[in-house]
Structure formats: C-alpha cells, structure tokens
Amino acid sequence: MEKKTEKYDVVIIGGGAAGLTAGIYCGRARLNTLLIEKSLVGGLATYTNEIENYPGFPDGSTGLGLMELFQKQAKKFGVKFKGTDVQGVKLEGDVKVVETFRTNYEAKVVIVASGGKPRLTGAKGEAQYLYDKGISFCATCDAAANSGKTVMVIGSGDAAIEEGMFLTKFADKVIVSVMHDEGIMDCNEIAKGQALANPKMEFIWNTMPDEFVGTEEHLNGVVLKNTRTGALQTVPVDSCFLFIGYVPNTEIFRDILDMNRPGYLLTNEKMETNIPGVFACGDVREKFLKQVATAVGDGAIAGYAAEKYLAESEIFEDQIMGSELPGIVFLWNAVMPECRCLLPVVEAFEEKYKGQIKVTRVDIYKSKGLADRLNISEVPAVVFIKDKCIQNVLTGEISLEKIEALIK
Ligand SMILES: Cc1cc2nc3c(=O)[nH]c(=O)nc-3n(C[C@H](O)[C@H](O)[C@H](O)COP(=O)(O)OP(=O)(O)OC[C@H]3O[C@@H](n4cnc5c(N)ncnc54)[C@H](O)[C@@H]3O)c2cc1C
C-alpha cells in the first residue's frame, strides 16, 4: 500500500496537557499544526478523577473535564487532530517525517509530547490480567465497575493514595500494598493522614506483588511477598490498581534524540532537543516535577520556540542565504555599547553599497538561533555571504575599512 504524504508546519506527537498547550501556542501563531494522539486526547491527566492543584480551578476539576477544555481551545486556534500511533520518525534535515501506518507527515518542526506510561511490577501473571482482566492504572475509568468489591492498590505515592481514597467511594474495601515499614509512605502528609484514618482502607506493609492469580478470564487474587521475611500471602481481590510510577514513551526516538538512562529526553530550557527544529515537552523530558502545571509550562515554551525557529528559518533561508545579491550580516546585541556604536558604520556601508550588497542586522538577544546557524558565538560580528555560502567572518575590532576588506 502506497503511503500518503501530508505537509504541515508543525507536527505534535502526543495529545496530553503538554502537546495540547504546544498546539494552542502554534495554532494561535497561525502555524499549520497537526497533533497526533494514539489513544485518548488528554493523556495521563484523564486517569485522575480530581485535579486540585491546577491553578484557576479553586473547586478542583476532573482530569477529563480539564483536558476537554484544553482540546477545545486548541481546536479553536485551528489545530488539526489525528487519532493514530506514530510508529517512526526521521528528524534530521529541514523536512522532518513523522510516520504512521497509512500516512507520512512532513513538517518543518516536530514537538515530542509523548509523555509516559504506567510502570509494571514485573510480577508473575501480570501480562495475563492487564486492563479489562483486572489490573488497572486508572481509578477514574474503573472505579464504578468495582462498586461493592474489594480492590488492591500497589504503591504509596500521591497518585496511589489519592486514587485509593477515590476508590473507597465505590469499593467496600481498598487494600494498599506498601513496600515500606509500617507508617512510612511516599505520598504527601495530608493524603497520608486522610488515608490512615479512612475506615475502608487497609494497609499491608513491607510487601510487593509476587504473582497475579485468577481464572482464564479475570484476576481474583494477588500473592504478596514480604520484603523482610520473604513470606508469601495470597490476598483475594476483585481488581488491582498499579500506581508505581511511569516510564517515558520514547522507544521510537532511541538513537535519534538524546535521552538519559531511563529514557527521558534531554532538552534545554527552550525545550530544544539535540536536533534543530525538534522540541520535547511535558513528562517525556527529564525534569524535576511532572505535573499538569509543568506540562503546560513546557508546552507553552515549546510552541513559542517552534514559532521562533520557523520565523528564523524563513529569515535565514530567504533573506540571508537566498538573496541573489551578496550580503553581509551584522550580528549585534542592543544592550552592548560596543555593538551600538557600530550601527553608524553599518549604515554607512549600506549606503555606499546600495544595490550591490544586501545588509541584514541580527540582534542576537532576540534571534540567538540565527547566530547559531551562522556559527557566531561572540558579537559584534560581520559575516560575508556570497553564492549562498559563508565566505568570511569578521569579529573583534570592526571598521568600515575592515568590512570592505572582507567583501573583496
Ligand atoms: C493517576 C494520576 C493522577 C495524577 N494526578 C495529578 C494531579 O492531581 N495534578 C497534576 O498536576 N498532575 C497529576 N498527574 C500527572 C499529570 O497527569 C501528568 O504530569 C501530565 O498529564 C503530563 O502530561 P503530558 O502531556 O506530558 O503527557 P501525557 O499526559 O502522558 O500525554 C502523552 C500522550 O502522548 C500519547 N502518545 C505517546 N506515544 C505516542 C505515539 N507514538 N503516537 C501518538 N501518541 C502517542 C499518549 O497516548 C498520551 O496521550 C496525575 C497522573 C496520574 C496518572
């Protein structure tokens, strides 16, 4: 089957909080933007029933409700959505390719916002009971189906304890397997206090799952192993919820984008990856705090940086490299007096060579990306370009005579 090709300014991989925010910024900048999401638009935030710490919602919001608002806003700014799995990427060069089963999407910029997926325990029998067979990662999605039942929660972080408490509204009993000593939990103190006081919650300390057991169709118990004694204990449950952290969705970027050992993408503060024109934002990148608020911040930066990158690409290709006339580029920084005092010299040069040499001024404070493309790290500097190639570079002391010598 011949694959179709579609062209965009920006393709965003992943439709969680980060990708949707990047979409809002790109769409609002009138960039032709496509967002590709393989499952539910809204991402991991839709897994949680209540988000209480996202600013602007003093009464809290459901994760799903909040993400629906994000999507509505992105759509309002013209972002197109495609529900499919990105299977591969080619990111080198000016035209990036994002590959799906039926279509190759070409883009000048790619924003990776593929987030993370829940970590598994690795216990025996786990693969057999994932999702609709009894092992869940989403209390919001599966709580109602557990009304009147006994469920187990694995983990003691914020997500485990807060989602566990939400489950008590439906289930008769919520048993929490905690790997630490009695009373020690990884969640915040408020959640800990509330959970310990909740009569529907029961804690089994110093334990980890050793095996998930049940019938062909459904889980009916978890074998817990005591981390101190090694003793095994089978606990009958109707469902088990895993909240033991996340792993990044970065398999398709391996050996392409720089990442750390666990696979989180490495970016700078502008969300730039190691490849020009490729940005990463949200939970998929290495950072201190993975939350909706920080995913939004990352997405905003990535969207803004993408817009800047495209504007600079246009100046670089059309005005600087694409000019029929030979040209000089004066790179300066408006806050540096030694740069400002050269402006009359550049003006005099421009006047003298009008119609023969094109002069472009680049303030590197605003357009550092252009300086990078011209390989300039110090200003003031003058670059002479002819036949679409850099011919000469002048730094240090700059005078009219020296610029004239540069173009000879
Ligand atoms: C149970 C739970 C409770 C939480 N509670 C809170 C809370 O109260 N407050 C808070 O601020 N944060 C909370 N978080 C964390 C918050 O949800 C995340 O930090 C946030 O959703 C990260 O957004 P993201 O866009 O970076 O990634 P994600 O939300 O993970 O979105 C990434 C998206 O990319 C898609 N994707 C991945 N690979 C591909 C591919 N190859 N092709 C196409 N699409 C792809 C995924 O399907 C996913 O939808 C909670 C998380 C969970 C799981």
Structural domains in the chain? Answer: 4-117+246-315 (3.50.50.60), 127-242 (3.50.50.60), 323-406 (3.40.30.10)
Instruction: Give the atom of ligand 1 at the shortest distance from the alpha carbon of 252.
Output: 41
Instruction: Give the atom of ligand 1 at the shortest distance from the alpha carbon of 100.
Output: 42
Q: How much distance in Å is there from the Cα of 43 to the middle of ligand 1?
A: 4
Q: How much distance in Å is there from the Cα of 45 to the middle of ligand 1?
A: 5
Strands 239-242 and 135-136: parallel
**Residue 40 Cα distances to 44, 133, 273, angstroms:** 9, 20, 26
User: Could you please report the per-residue DSSP string of 70-90?
Assistant: HHHHHHHTT-EEEES---EEE
What is the average per-residue pLDDT within 364-373? 91
CA–CA gap between residue 356 and residue 343 (Å, rounded): 19
SS3 of residue 4 by DSSP: strand
Question: 19 CB under 6 A from ligand 1?
Answer: yes
Residue 131 has pLDDT above 90, yes or no: no
What is the average per-residue pLDDT within 109-125? 97
Q: Which residues contact 254 (CB under 8 A, 6 or more apart)?
A: 263
Instruction: Give the atom of ligand 1 at the shortest distance from the alpha carbon of 40.
Output: 49
What is the average per-residue pLDDT within 76-89? 98
Element (H, E) at 334: none
Question: 16 CB under 6 A from ligand 1?
Answer: yes
Confidence of residue 398 (pLDDT cuts 50, 70, 90): very high
308 touches 360 (CB < 8 A) = no
User: Could you please report the per-residue DSSP string of 355-397?
Assistant: TTSEEEEEETTT-HHHHHHTT--SSSEEEEEETTEEEEEEESS
Kindly state the percentage of the chain with pLDDT values over 70: 100
Residue whose CA lies nearest to ligand 1 atom number 22? 283
Q: Each residue of 20-44: pLDDT tens digit?
A: 999 999 999 999 999 999 999 999 9
Q: Pick from 176, 157, 159: which is nearest to 235 by CA?
A: 176
What is the average per-residue pLDDT within 83-92? 98
What is the reported pLDDT for 138?
87
- Percentages (nearest 5) of helix, strand, coil residues in the chain: 30, 30, 40
90 touches 252 (CB < 8 A) = no
Instruction: Give the atom of ligand 1 at the shortest distance from the alpha carbon of 116.
Output: 30
Torsion of CA 359, 364, 366, 372, to 10 degrees: 100
What is the reported pLDDT for 49?
78
Q: How is residue 88 written in tokens?
A: 């591969």
Instruction: Give the atom of ligand 1 at the shortest distance from the alpha carbon of 283.
Output: 26
Confidence of residue 264 (pLDDT cuts 50, 70, 90): very high
Question: 290 CB under 6 A from ligand 1?
Answer: yes
Q: How is residue 339 written in tokens?
A: 């740069």
What is the average per-residue pLDDT within 237-258? 97
Q: How much distance in Å is there from the Cα of 30 to the middle of ligand 1?
A: 26
Confidence of residue 2 (pLDDT cuts 50, 70, 90): confident
What is the reported pLDDT for 140?
82
Q: What is the DSSP letter of 255?
A: T
Return mean pLDDT, the chain: 95
Residue whose CA lies nearest to ligand 1 atom number 9? 51
> In DSSP terms, which residues pair with 330 in a beta bridge?
361, 382
CA–CA gap between residue 342 and residue 399 (Å, rounded): 8
Lowest average pLDDT, out of 132-146, 183-197, 223-237, 268-282, goes to: 132-146
88 touches 99 (CB < 8 A) = yes
Q: How much distance in Å is there from the Cα of 80 to the middle of ligand 1?
A: 20
Question: 36 CB under 6 A from ligand 1?
Answer: yes
10 touches 307 (CB < 8 A) = no
Question: 38 CB under 6 A from ligand 1?
Answer: yes
Q: How much distance in Å is there from the Cα of 304 to the middle of ligand 1?
A: 21
CA–CA gap between residue 356 and residue 399 (Å, rounded): 19
Confidence of residue 305 (pLDDT cuts 50, 70, 90): very high
Instruction: Give the atom of ligand 1 at the shortest distance from the alpha carbon of 18.
Output: 25
What is the reported pLDDT for 47?
83
Instruction: Give the atom of ligand 1 at the shortest distance from the alpha carbon of 44.
Output: 29
Indicate the burial class of 56 (C-beta count within 10 angstroms; 0-12, 13-18, 19 or more): exposed
What is the average per-residue pLDDT within 58-86? 96
Q: What is the DSSP letter of 259?
A: B
Element (H, E) at 159: helix 158-167
Residue 402 has pLDDT above 90, yes or no: yes
Q: What is the DSSP letter of 137?
A: S
Question: 265 CB under 6 A from ligand 1?
Answer: no
Question: 156 CB under 6 A from ligand 1?
Answer: no
Residue whose CA lies nearest to ligand 1 atom number 7? 51
Confidence of residue 77 (pLDDT cuts 50, 70, 90): very high
- Give the predicted TM-score (pTM) of the model: 0.86
Q: Which residues contact 348 (CB under 8 A, 6 or more apart)?
A: 400
What is the reported pLDDT for 132?
83
What is the reported pLDDT for 344?
95
Question: 155 CB under 6 A from ligand 1?
Answer: no
Q: Pick from 365, 362, 309: which is nearest to 108 by CA?
A: 309
Residue whose CA lies nearest to ligand 1 atom number 2? 48
